[in-house]
Amino acid sequence: MDLTGVLAQLGCDIDLDAPDGLDLDSPIDGSYLGCVSMNSASDTSEIIDASVSASKAWRSVPAPIRGELVRQFGLALRDNKEALGTLVSIETGKIKSEGLGEVQEMIDICDFAVGQSRQLYGLTIASERPGHHMREMWHPLGVSLVISAFNFPVAVWSWNAALSLVCGNSVIWKPSEKAPLCAIAAHKLLADVIEQFDEAPSELSQLAIGGRDVGEALVASPDVDLVSATGSTRMGREVSKVVSDRFGKVLLELGGNNAAIIAPSADIELAVRAIVFAAAGTAGQRCTTLRRLIVHESIIGQVSEKLRAAYSQLRIGSPLEEQTLVGPLIDGDSVVAMQQAIDEARASGAQVFGGESVEVAGCEKGYYVQPCIIESDSQLDVACRETFAPITYVVPYSELAEAIELNNEVPQGLSSAIFTTDVREAELFTSAVGSDCGIANVNIGPSGAEIGGAFGGEKETGGGRESGSDSWRAYMRRQTVTVNYSSELPLAQGVNFDVGGS
């Protein structure tokens, strides 16, 4: 594990020996990675002031030119994909192909945002008054703040940053305290592009590394126009209260508790392959991870057997080894939370398969676990909470309506899936009376979404939509413009207000 080498490749000269900073341990082998300096809450007003001035300059730069900046960032990401992907693996424990996939997701959103920069469309609207027309204008918001989580330490920032920049905003990034190195490296790639770009103010994008106090100070500022936060429901609830209280805008992407239904007509081989990736991939640490499996009673024995067989084949180990499929959890707290959930399920009489800690040779102090399957006759209370670990709760169903009800029974509403070859079932699941989630898939698992669609979900997931489709609108303010090109002054709704006289 060559942290210094990777940082050097990324052109990052980070002081890993900062006094009173953020101490970092590798999830891979528990080794000490160093201490990174942090911002304090008192730094935030300077950061915000600089961001306000940057936004004032940037909003007047034509959107396609703003797109050109993002295009160049995409090129820098292409050049640095291998190194940045490796850094994601080292700092968060993601397997190499997922670390690289994360950077690919950044490249994809840059491409998307470049196209978007020429498509910030508003409607033209017929006016009821003669000699008038109406149109909708989309203007930059000002300062956008991105709060990101450890599990997608760079991609989720880039979804927000790429769109927010083409929409004409400045960006402040408060990354997870568990992944500051990825943030410093990814941000430097953008900062270097900004520095070379004549039209871009130098403080267009800023990084604020710090703890809760730094986040709180940024969130509370009335100069921060949009807070886009990804993380726990608890954090989102707090952020949302503060921002709503000052009538700021929020974009929330919070907890998920995603289920898949396996119907009797499903292609079971395909379903099992999809489930294993969705449930055990990223060591169960995606918002979109498959956490609940709702299986028709006629096939549950067969599915369970195949799943257990597949789980016993999972190669658990250092994420830097080519053949590894499941890397470590992020830290010891996650291992404890996983064990507590398993104990609670066991106490309710459920059958537990796997879930124990795993010792990986050479990485004895890493946080490795065997992904876990928990089978019960009905949906357990613990299954209705999100535990950020590879646990899959399996329950049987007899009628599709009951399966859909189980899918929707949890407080979160991010992603969902159905495995079926029956078109009626697939259509019902994706209809108004089907899944209540922001994402509903057919014959693929709930995780691993492409950037082209709007990403996010309902209920405790927070209601925000990021990434593709028309998510760009969240980064702009809408203005309805009515123009009178006549020499008369007719009033709307036929109102008469003539003072007479001349």
**Assigned token pair, 190:** 């953008």
C-alpha triplet 321, 327, 330: angle, nearest 5°? 135
- Which of these ranges, 174-182, 285-293, 342-350, 470-478, lies near ligand UN1 under the rule CB under 6 A? 285-293
**Could you give the CA distance from residue 404 to residue 247 in angstroms, rounded to a whole number?**
36
| Beta carbon of residue 252, minimum distance to ligand UN1 (angstroms, whole number) | 12
Of residues 5 through 64, those in contact with ligand UN1 by CB under 6 A are none
Cβ contact 26:16 at 8 Å: no
The smaller minimum CB distance to ligand UN1, of residues 140 and 256, is found at 256
Q: Which of 86, 89, 206, 447 binds ligand UN1 (CB under 6 A)?
A: 447
Biggest alpha carbon–alpha carbon distance for the chain:
95
**Which candidate, 308, 445, 280, 305, places its Cα nearest to that of 369?**
280
Q: Which of 341, 449, 474, 476 binds ligand UN1 (CB under 6 A)?
A: 449
167 is catalytic: no
The smaller minimum CB distance to ligand UN1, of residues 375 and 460, is found at 460
DSSP symbols for 44-70: HHHHHHHHHHHHHHHTTS-HHHHHHHH
The smaller minimum CB distance to ligand UN1, of residues 151 and 169, is found at 151
Q: Which of 84, 254, 287, 373 binds ligand UN1 (CB under 6 A)?
A: 287
| Beta carbon of residue 289, minimum distance to ligand UN1 (angstroms, whole number) | 7
Phi and psi, residue 242, nearest 5°: -65, -45
The smaller minimum CB distance to ligand UN1, of residues 38 and 147, is found at 147
Q: Give the CA count within 13 Å in the CB-facing half-sphere of 173.
A: 33
- Which of these ranges, 163-171, 284-292, 479-487, 492-500, lies near ligand UN1 under the rule CB under 6 A? 284-292
| Beta carbon of residue 229, minimum distance to ligand UN1 (angstroms, whole number) | 11
C-alpha triplet 407, 410, 416: angle, nearest 5°? 40
Q: Classify burial at 328, counting beta carbons within 10 Å of its beta carbon; exposed 0-12, middle 13-18, buried 19 or more.
A: buried
Q: Are strands 132-140 and 143-147 parallel, antiparallel or unpaired?
A: unpaired
Q: Which of 66, 178, 286, 306 binds ligand UN1 (CB under 6 A)?
A: 286
**Could you give the CA distance from residue 175 to residue 166 in angstroms, rounded to a whole number?**
21
Cβ contact 483:467 at 8 Å: no
Q: Give how many residues touch ligand UN1 by CB under 6 A.
A: 11
- Which of these ranges, 109-117, 345-353, 403-411, 445-453, lies near ligand UN1 under the rule CB under 6 A? 445-453
| Beta carbon of residue 128, minimum distance to ligand UN1 (angstroms, whole number) | 45
Q: Which of 248, 366, 448, 456 binds ligand UN1 (CB under 6 A)?
A: 448
Q: Which of 112, 138, 150, 152 binds ligand UN1 (CB under 6 A)?
A: 152
What would the 3-class secondary structure string for 240-254 be? HHHHHHCCCEEEEEC
Output the CA–CA distances (angstroms, integers) from residue 133 to 375, 443, 472, 477, 479, in the order listed.
62, 47, 25, 20, 14
Q: Which of 156, 320, 350, 373 binds ligand UN1 (CB under 6 A)?
A: 156
Q: Is 385 helix (H, G, I), strand (E, B) or coil?
A: coil
Q: Is 323 helix (H, G, I), strand (E, B) or coil?
A: coil
**Could you give the CA distance from residue 118 to residue 327 in angstroms, rounded to a whole number?**
41
Cβ contact 388:279 at 8 Å: no
- Which of these ranges, 123-131, 188-196, 281-289, 475-483, lies near ligand UN1 under the rule CB under 6 A? 281-289
| Beta carbon of residue 235, minimum distance to ligand UN1 (angstroms, whole number) | 13
287 is catalytic: yes
| Beta carbon of residue 157, minimum distance to ligand UN1 (angstroms, whole number) | 11
- Which of these ranges, 20-28, 68-76, 128-136, 150-158, lies near ligand UN1 under the rule CB under 6 A? 150-158
| Beta carbon of residue 111, minimum distance to ligand UN1 (angstroms, whole number) | 15
> Residues 253, 375, 460, 466: which is the catalytic one?
253
Neighbours of 59 (CB within 10 A): 17
The smaller minimum CB distance to ligand UN1, of residues 288 and 334, is found at 288
Cβ contact 151:285 at 8 Å: yes
**Could you give the CA distance from residue 346 to residue 352 in angstroms, rounded to a whole number?**
7
Of residues 102 through 121, those in contact with ligand UN1 by CB under 6 A are 105
The smaller minimum CB distance to ligand UN1, of residues 34 and 464, is found at 464
Of residues 219 through 278, those in contact with ligand UN1 by CB under 6 A are 230
| Beta carbon of residue 269, minimum distance to ligand UN1 (angstroms, whole number) | 22
Q: Which of 44, 72, 117, 151 binds ligand UN1 (CB under 6 A)?
A: 151
**Which candidate, 110, 13, 122, places its Cα nearest to that of 467?**
110
**Could you give the CA distance from residue 488 to residue 303 in angstroms, rounded to a whole number?**
74
Contact status: 441 vs ligand UN1 (CB under 6 A): no
> Residues 110, 182, 287, 372: which is the catalytic one?
287
User: Which amino acids are annotated catalytic?
Assistant: 253, 287
Contact residues for ligand UN1, defined by CB under 6 A: 105, 151-152, 156, 230, 286-288, 447-449
